[in-house]
Amino acid sequence: MTPMQGHAEIIIRGGEVVDGTGAPPRRADVAVSGGRIAAVGDLTGWHGDEMIAADGLAVAPGFIDMHTHSDISLLVNGRAESKLRQGVTTEVIGMCGWSPAPAPDSRREAMIQEVGAWAREVDWTWGGFAQYVEALRQAGSSVNVVPVVGHGTIRAAVMGEEGRAPSAEELASMRREVERALEAGAFGMSTGLVYAPGMWAETEEIIALAEPVGKRGGIYFSHIRSESDRLMEAIEEAIRIGRETGSSVQIAHLKAEGRRNWGKTEQALERIERARAEGLEVSYDCYPYPAWNTGLGQMLPAWAREGGAEQMLERLRDEEARDRIISFMRREASQDPGRWERRLISWAESEYGRTTQGLTIAQIAEREGREPEEVVIRLLTAERGRVGLVGFGMCEEDIARVVSHPVGMIGSDAASIAPYGVLGEAHPHPRAYGTFARVLAKYVREERALSLEAAVHKMTGRAAAKLGLADRGRIAEGLAADICVFDPATVADRATFEEPQQYADGVACVIVNGVIELAGEEHRDRRPGKVLTPG
């Protein structure tokens, strides 16, 4: 066969193409022009403005991070360093029930306080979801963005952070906000059913708000109501919402937390498979780490968090309420031996709080001569409720099971950050820097729980199909040129819980919408990413 001839802006020569469909790698050249893949095959006769030698390297679609919290960090630093350098070209934002919009005037300052230092780096002038999406477009970024609206944000905008059911008028107002967000380009709605105010929503409220999502063929993303003792009931609720609304369902960061729940992922996956056999589009994402990341306020009882940060702080200052809170935390800790040794502070902003970053609650308590529960209260008070927490609670067998199952996709559950500027001041969960590289290193190369093509499919074609991105997630002629070139023999995560601010190794080149954004160590900062639209 005579080799094809032609000219392209970029030619990737001699790589092993892992095309995102799950098919085995094949040696081929890839040509890119006009933001699209121009040709795939033997392109010996082709000439390119830029040539990328890919001998011994894998050429895959750019990775799609199915669950991120980059809503504000991309406005602070659109270079998306921690994600781009592990091959990510698209991030899904608006997860766990929180999005930066709608942000009515009455709520904007509270939302800025919730976000903290990052928000103070941003010109937060938007109100509605459409305005926020436009702010993302104007700022530009190195990666594509898939926006989702948060149920908790909508609920707080309409009725505050009260622990009650909405009135008929409030429910109608929330539904209108969902519809406005969908019209503005949201791919769906997310919930965070362990967080205030989403935790106070009954299933019927969520069904009413997810109905417009289903009518538009959108996705219901859910941090479900329990990832521990009531995991199966929480999965049932998500399935019910999908069944009754017609929404596609994406269960966030599937896990079984706490030693007494280890092994439950097997039942969870069986239930998801049964739902799919019934014709429901139910799937999940996961990250390859034994620890989660949340706010320290989650250690408090639900009643103590009602009404938002200021009311929580008032309760912490009230002697009777504080005693009740301490008693609650002690009861919880007595049922979970070693709890405070497995709870690590990931970020704080005050002078005192910064000294606790990277330490466990137990270590801080020993240093200060305090009880762990007193440390929690001191930190929350000093930081006005904003303290990041990493908790170790999952087992490796469960992680391997959910990472390798064919229904699952990969999501970092982390923001795009960088080891410099305001984004570099925290002690983050290492998943921000290492999620995708870790899957390839640990579960493909080392443990062989997945083939290379199966792992890439999860990160690309499988995720693109879930999101309805018909022109992404595969290496094929005519599709958008989001491409990651990496070395399967050396790709690896370097970020650790002790030293998390470290880029991944082994990614040689990342192309976003036909533009080389990462070439070796060089970040070209051309900001070719787009805010993607459904359909």
pLDDT (tens digit per residue) in 295-347: 999 999 999 999 888 999 999 999 999 999 999 999 999 989 999 999 999 98
Spelled out in words, what is the top-level CATH class assigned to the domain 1-60+252-290+393-413+427-525?
A: mainly beta
Query: Can you say how many angstroms the Cα of residue 9 is from the centroid of all Cα atoms in its chain?
Result: 33
Q: How confident is the model at residue 535 (pLDDT cuts 50, 70, 90)?
A: confident
Question: Any idea which residue has 């820097």 for tokens?
Answer: 433
pLDDT digits (tens, 9 = 90+) for 348-391: 989 999 999 999 999 999 999 999 999 999 999 999 999 999 99
pLDDT band at 1 (very low <50, low <70, confident <90, very high): very low
- C-alpha 497/C-alpha 289 separation (Å) is 10
Q: What is the pLDDT of residues 82-103, one digit of tens each?
A: 999 999 999 999 999 999 999 9
pTM of the model: 0.96
Q: What are the φ and ψ backbone dihedral angles of 227, each rounded to 5 degrees?
A: -120, 20
Q: How far apart are CA 152 and CA 193, in angstroms?
A: 9
Domain spans of the chain? Answer: 1-60+252-290+393-413+427-525, 96-230+239-247, 303-388
Q: In this structure, are residues 171 and 126 in contact, taking their beta carbons and an 8 Å threshold?
A: no
Q: In the chain, what percentage of residues exceed pLDDT 90?
A: 96
Is residue 286 within 8 Å of residue 403, measured between CB atoms?
yes
What does the chain come to in residues? 535
pLDDT at 4: 61
What pLDDT is recorded for position 152? 98
- State residue 42's pLDDT score: 96
Chain centre to alpha carbon of residue 487: 24
Cis peptide bond prior to 290, omega within 30° of 0: no
* Distance separating alpha carbons of residues 200 and 373, to the nearest angstrom: 25
SS3 474: coil
Of 4-8, 137-141, 331-335, 459-463, the one with minimum mean pLDDT is 4-8
pLDDT band at 3 (very low <50, low <70, confident <90, very high): low
| Residues 470, 473: Cα–Cα separation, whole Å | 8
Tokens of 367: 């240093």
Are 48 and 10 in contact, with CB atoms under 8 Å apart?
A: yes
Token pair for residue 190?
Answer: 């997310």
Encode burial over 302-341: b for 16+ CB neighbours within 10 A, e otherwise.
Answer: eebbbbbbeebeebbeeeeebeebbebbeeebeeeeebbe
Nearest to 73 by CA among 345, 390, 425: 425
What residue type is assigned to position 188 of the chain? G
For residues 281 and 242, what is the distance between their CA atoms, to the nearest angstrom? 8
Q: What is the mean pLDDT of residues 467-488?
A: 98
Q: How many CB atoms lie within 10 A of CB 470?
A: 12
- Domain spanning 96-230+239-247: which CATH class is it, in words? alpha beta
Rg (CA), the chain: 23
3-class DSSP assignment, residue 436: helix
Q: What's the confidence (pLDDT) of residue 24? A: 98
Residue 308's pLDDT is: 86
CA count, 13 A, side-chain hemisphere, 480 = 21
Comparison of pLDDT for 306 and 472, the residue scoring more = 472
Do residues 342 and 392 touch, judged by C-beta distance below 8 A?
A: yes
Query: Are 486 and 87 spatial neighbours (Cβ–Cβ below 8 Å)?
Result: yes
Tens digit of each residue's pLDDT (9 = 90 or more) over 255-292: 999 999 999 999 999 999 999 999 999 999 999 999 99
CA separation, residue 533 to residues 98, 129, 376, 477 (Å)? 19, 13, 42, 21
Distance of CA 369 to the CA centre of its chain: 37
Q: Model confidence over 29-65: pLDDT tens digits?
A: 999 999 999 999 999 999 999 999 999 999 999 999 9
β strands within 25-94, DSSP E: 26-33, 36-41, 45-53, 58-61, 63-65, 88-92
- Mean pLDDT score, 476-490: 98
Nearest to 191 by CA among 154, 243, 166: 154
Element housing 239 (H / E): helix 231-245
> Which pLDDT does position 98 carry in this prediction?
98
Kindly provide the b/e burial profile for residues 179-189, where b requires at least 16 CB atoms within 10 angstroms of the residue's own CB. bbbbebbbbbb
Q: What is the mean pLDDT of residues 172-199?
A: 98
pLDDT, tens digit (0-9, with 9 covering 90-100), for 401-454? 999 999 999 999 999 999 999 999 989 999 999 999 999 999 999 999 999 999
Q: Which residues of 359-380 are buried (b: 16+ CB within 10 A; e: fewer)?
A: bbbbbbbeeeeeebbebbbbbb
- What is the torsional sign of CA 209, 210, 212, 218? positive
Using the predicted structure, report yes or no on whether residue 77 has a pLDDT greater than 70.
yes
The span from the CA of 419 to the CA of 403, in Å, is 27
